[in-house]
Amino acid sequence: SYCSSLQTNLPIFKLKESCVRRRYSDFEWLKNELERDSKIVVPPLPGKALKRQLPFRGDEGIFEESFIEERRQGLEQFINKIAGHPLAQNERCLHMFLQEETIDRNYVPGKVRQ
């Protein structure tokens, strides 16, 4: 899992600072929600690690430090682009992703009201 930290002065966010732990699948969920419910072009996520999970590899696969750091940087770029997009900032799924400890996958999609 990755620590996703937020520091903002934007009034749309209820918390000015937050830190939550997210898995790669949580980033996939956010991407899918934004693609389904918003009108923005959602940037790509770093690739899946399917080949790194194969047995009998000569390295540590998904636990190799260089892979973890490369993926972390890709996820950071993804979330920075999304969080910086004026239309995405109004989406409930982004607020939940950035500021709530757990993601309610049964939430009602929509816009955040100030």
Domains annotated for the chain, with CATH where assigned, are 2-99 (3.30.1520.10)
| DSSP, res 12 | T
**In order along the chain (114 residues), what is the average pLDDT of each group of 10 residues?**
82 84 94 88 82 53 76 92 91 92 88 74
The answer to whether the pTM exceeds 0.85 is no
CA distances in angstroms from 73 to 29, 52, 54, 70, 110, listed in the order given: 18, 18, 23, 5, 29
pLDDT for res 49: 64
How many other CB atoms sit within 10 Å of the CB of residue 97?
23
